[in-house]
Amino acid sequence: MQEKQLTISRVSRANKEQIFAKRKSAVSCHMSKVKCFQKGFSLLELLIVIAIMAILAAVGAGFYRGFAKNVELQSSSKMIASDLRQMRAKSMAGESGYKWGVRFVKDAGGDYYITFSTDGTNSTTTATTTLSSGVTFSDPVSGYKEVIFNKITGTISTATTTSVTLEGTTATTTISTIGTIY
């Protein structure tokens, strides 16, 4: 029995010493000039992380802007090619007995193109499409350019191109004499 009490008193004495040591280190950490290591982040660490995140965001925004610009330009170019193919198909089908074509207009108020049918003398506009903001024709340089597909064959008299530009980047659509659009 005496042995048990002695063991208990030794354990409790050891526990008391550990508790006292913890309190002593906590007190000495705050009262001494020795740097204590505590959990958490310093203001400097937070500022460095924020600066790195800002740099990554700026670089990412630049890449996104370039990507969005390219998508806008390619979208305009593909829309023009699609409308050219539609006018060629109408000419080949002999729809309404007319030739069909597209007129690309360079205008100070905004560039646009017109799809139309023609009998050679008179033409009828079927649709007018304005290019997206910032997208302009670089070919034609001024005025307008027409592409008219012949009935049944879908050919044109002279191979031609039309180009759209957005902030220095250009996309070109080519129409061959046999009417291939690429």
In a domain, 130, yes or no: yes
| The pLDDT of residue 105 | 98
In a domain, 162, yes or no: yes
| The pLDDT of residue 35 | 62
In a domain, 55, yes or no: no
pTM recorded for the entire structure: 0.69
In a domain, 110, yes or no: yes
d(CA 45, CA 30): 22
Q: Is the peptide bond before 140 cis (omega within 30 degrees of 0)?
A: yes
Q: Encode burial over 81-101: b for 16+ CB neighbours within 10 A, e otherwise.
A: bebbbebbebbbeeeeebbbb
Statement: residue 101 has pLDDT above 60? yes
pLDDT higher for 6 or 52?
52
The CATH number assigned to the domain holding 115 equals 3.55.40.10
pLDDT band at 13 (very low <50, low <70, confident <90, very high): low
- The DSSP call for residue 181 is B
| The pLDDT of residue 52 | 97
Pseudo-torsion of CA 53, 54, 55, 58, nearest 10°?
120
| The pLDDT of residue 30 | 55
What amino acid is encoded at 10 in this protein?
Answer: R
d(CA 114, CA 119): 16
pLDDT band at 5 (very low <50, low <70, confident <90, very high): low
| The pLDDT of residue 41 | 84
pLDDT tens per residue across span 18-46: 665 555 555 555 555 656 666 788 999 99
In a domain, 158, yes or no: yes
In a domain, 27, yes or no: no
Q: Which percentage of the chain shows pLDDT scores above 90? A: 72
pLDDT higher for 18 or 175?
175
In a domain, 75, yes or no: yes
Q: How many domains does the chain have?
A: 1
Beta bridge partners of 108: none
In a domain, 165, yes or no: yes
Domain assignment of residue 169, given as a range: 61-175
Report the length, in residues, of the chain: 182
